[in-house]
Amino acid sequence: MGNVFGRKSRPSRVTEQDKAILQLKQQRDKLKLYQKKITLQLEKERLLAKQLLKDGKKVQDIEFMQIEMKVIEGLKVGNDCLRSMHEIMSVEDVERILDETQESIEYQRQIDEMLAGALTQEDEDAVLAELEAITQGDDVALPEVPTEPIPEVPEAAKAEPERREAKNKPDREMLAA
């Protein structure tokens, strides 16, 4: 619709330089306030230090005492934890647990050796004797083979696995990607 009163908007008189100067002045004022705050806090700390020195207490001694108190409190908490753990568990319990752990480690090592194929000489001889008996056709008891014919699978049942495979194929392809 245009300007109602026929005036054109004028460009702002505030330039980027003016904005930058304003920001600098604001920062200067904030720094002055912060400086005053720090100066007052420093003066309070000086007065406190003077008072402590008059009383014969050195500032370092006070800080060291505070640290000592924290250490002592930590030792108390640690002792309480140890005491409660000793109530729960005795030395015999710990020894029993360590023995059970050692037995479990030995058992796992035996399983690992078996899985790795480390057979003892006796086991290997037994396996070889069984293989020899099977290959020579000696009296080895084999299961009976069924003589009746295998039943025919209906066409609908044959198509069902194919549909499942086709349905799952995109899923497998996404998993492979």
Residue 65 shares a structural domain with residue 83 = yes
**pLDDT tens digits for 114-152?**
777 766 788 888 888 888 888 887 666 767 888 888 888
Query: Which CA distances in Å does 113 have to 101, 110, 122, 123, 137?
Result: 18, 5, 15, 13, 32
Q: Domain limits at 34?
A: 15-89
What is the C-alpha separation between 137 and 139, in angstroms, rounded? 6
Q: What span, in angstroms and rounded, lies between the C-alpha atoms of 92 and 89?
A: 8
Could you tell me which residues come within 8 angstroms of residue 67 by beta carbon, excluding any fewer than 6 positions away?
Answer: none
Q: Do 97 and 44 have their domain in common?
A: no
Asked if 77 and 26 sit in the same domain, the reply is yes
At 6-28, the pLDDT tens digits run 666 677 788 888 888 888 888 88
| Half-sphere exposure of residue 5: CA atoms within 13 angstroms, side-chain side | 3
pLDDT in tens, 62-105: 778 888 888 898 888 888 888 888 788 788 888 888 899 999 99
The answer on 71 and 23 residing in a single domain is yes
Q: What's this model's pTM, rounded to 2 decimal places?
A: 0.29
